[in-house]
A and B are shown apart, each in its own frame.
Chain A
Amino acid sequence: MDFLFASIVDGLLLGFVYGIAAMGLTLIWGVMNVINLAHGPIIALGMFGVYLIFTMLGLNPYIGIVLVAVLGLLLGMLIYYVAVHRVINAPHLSTLLATFSINMIIIGLGTAVFSASPRNVDFSLGSITLGPITLLGSRVVAAIASMLITGGLYAFLYKTRQGRYIRAVANNRDAAELMGVPSTQILALSFGLGTMLAAVAGALIATFFPFTILAGGVYELKSFVIGVLGGLGNPVGALFGGLILGVLEGIIPTFMPTTWVPVLEFVLFVLILLVRPQGIFGAKK
């Protein structure tokens, strides 16, 4: 019983970070109906960002994450202007392939520079023992950081002018333009925010798991599952979806071999798409 409880708590902590990654994906989908296939490599870039800042500059990884966030935002805006803007109104295939070409470019350059060998950020925060369960410090901090980021995103979307613009563009781009919202800048900003969330999630994951340049692919697929669970386009749904997935990953291995986890995840994913494509929590737009 203690073991089950410990797995659930561990899964919850991890789920917060999954939630942040999925939030990045779902924000972009919600605002511009684009599935960002460069999501995984950007997560991997976040991992390498914090790794490089830690090993080359010797900075504390949590300061590194702030830097990674800023770079992620800028990278996302750059990707938007270069690859997405021209095809934003084209059929789905175009945006899927445009973002996939970014995926290929990042992975291609990344493997050339970093090779595919595994890295890790050698930084420990120790662990906390609460009764029967022991928690890794880095995971607790990651979960807290994820909550703060979610809160920050909400404050931004609901309390600032830019945030209101984003919601207006998500709701109806044409009408927002007529009201004088600079829609191109807002779309670029949204894409930047989505990329920033992905990079930060990668950076947080790097503080407790080893990784390679290809590691983002797994989290990209997880983000799809979570995004659909919570309803594509719904950031808070993504956080809850992340928690659900984290708990599932914690519980399932206690009574089944771990290798069955992805089977159940993807079956669940396809079933939700079929039965309730708006997600468990419904897309709020």
Chain B
Amino acid sequence: MNGIRKYLGLILALFVVLAMAAWPMIDGKDITREVVFTMLLSVALASSLNILLGYTGYVSFGHVVFFGLGGYVGFYLMAVQDWSLWSAMLAGGLASAVLAFLLGKAILRLRGGYFALATIGINEAVRAFINNFDLFGGPVGMSLNFQVYQNYGGGAREALWMSFYVLIALTLLTVTLSYFVRSSKFGLGLLAIREDEDAAEVMGVIAPNAKTWAYVLSAVFPGILGVLFFFKNGNIEPAPAFRLHLSIEMIVMVMLGGQGTVLGPILGGAGYQRLRGFLLTNPLFKNIQLAVAGVLLLVIVLFVPAGVVGWVRQRFPKLRRVLQ
């Protein structure tokens, strides 16, 4: 009984993800699966970013670089070197982790706005480089041979369902990672860095190492997810892979749900995508969906900076045990 109580926050978070995942399995429609695919992808990306943004307090504006780079490395291995999806995903995650490790040592020295600017610069530099990199297809990118999908369940439709199941597993893993980082001693060190980096160092947190590892952990899953996303997509190009806008959307999701909480990015990612889908299909808001989303973001930033989960935690302290 005590064990369950201890992990109540994790169980609730995983339950929310599973409830979303169950929806297309119950109604069996392709369209529902696509909707939930986007939601789960956002949940996983936002939860990854949250490790750096929410726990450590470093604003990465170019986090999509890990999604794009992992995607590119994995896609190259699948399309040109005939690797399987599984080994390509591992390689993509590894590539992102290595990039984060190398970058982390250098740019995590910068604080506040300077760090945010550097991450934008890195994303743009990598995108411009890939645009010129002939091995990865330059500006036209690469495509998968349609035959590839036959190895994953028999046809394109089966491969899409399989991608969906893989995404569920990856999302559950990301959320679990996010939970254990937060509840570990390492995570406590990160929270201390967020509150006051100099004080944290005085208290014995080795900030440069802790920050670098937080950066690496927040980069691994975006890399793996990039491979899965572009595998399902069938082709990869520089512009969609390194879309700065996606980076910022990830931040919005984390903020919406509540930065620094485990449940926040889950609700934020899913809620943001639901809202976006609603605005895009609603005849009244169809043309101005971006502007409506902007107004909403402004209202949240100005009046509910702690996000939904953060606000509930402040208002109802008793729920803090469950809403982590």
Contact = CB atoms under 8 A, between A and B. Distances in A.
Nearest to B291: A108
Given A112-B287, A263-B132, A273-B110, A224 B298 contact: no
A100 interface: yes
Interface residues of A, number: 43
A220 to B, nearest CB: 10
Contact of A108 (B118, B122, B139, B294): B294
A33 B59 CA distance: 15
Interface in B49-69: 53, 57, 59, 61
Contacts of A196: none
A97 B132 contact: no
B121 A111 contact: no
Interface in A45-60: none
Contacts of B259: 93
A277 B288 contact: no
B235 to A, nearest CB: 20
Interface stretch (B36-44, B74-82, B247-255, B264-272): B247-255
Interface in A82-127: 82-83, 86-87, 90-94, 96-98, 100-105, 107-109, 111-112
A273 B117 contact: yes
A144 interface: no
A98 B301 contact: yes
Contact of B302 (A29, A86, A224, A259): A86
B129 A108 contact: no
Interface in B291-313: 291-295, 297-298, 301-302, 305
Contacts of B124: 221, 262, 266
Contacts, number: 124
B255 A104 contact: no
Interface of A is mostly: helix
Contacts of B163: none
Contacts of A108: 288-294
A104 B107 contact: no
B113 interface: yes
A94 B259 CA distance: 12
A94 B129 CA distance: 31
A270 B124 CA distance: 10
B128 A262 contact: yes
Contacts of B132: 257, 259-260, 263
B301 A104 contact: no
A263 B301 CA distance: 33
A97 B301 contact: yes
B122 A270 contact: yes
A18 interface: no
B134 to A, nearest CB: 11
Interface in A204-240: 221, 224-225, 228
Contact of B114 (A100, A107, A259, A273): A273
B298 A83 contact: yes
B291 A112 contact: yes
B117 A111 contact: no
A109 B291 contact: yes
Contacts of A109: 288, 291
A231 to B, nearest CB: 12
A224 B122 CA distance: 12
Contact of A97 (B117, B251, B290): B251
Interface string A131-174: 00000000000000000000000000000000000000000000
Closest 8 CB pairs of A and B: A108-B291, A104-B294, A108-B290, A266-B125, A262-B128, A105-B294, A101-B298, A101-B297
11 contacts: A92-B113, A94-B305, A96-B116, A101-B301, A108-B290, A108-B293, A112-B288, A259-B131, A262-B128, A270-B118, A274-B106
Given A98-B298, A101-B301, A277-B110, 5 more contacts: A35-B113, A102-B298, A104-B290, A111-B290, A273-B114
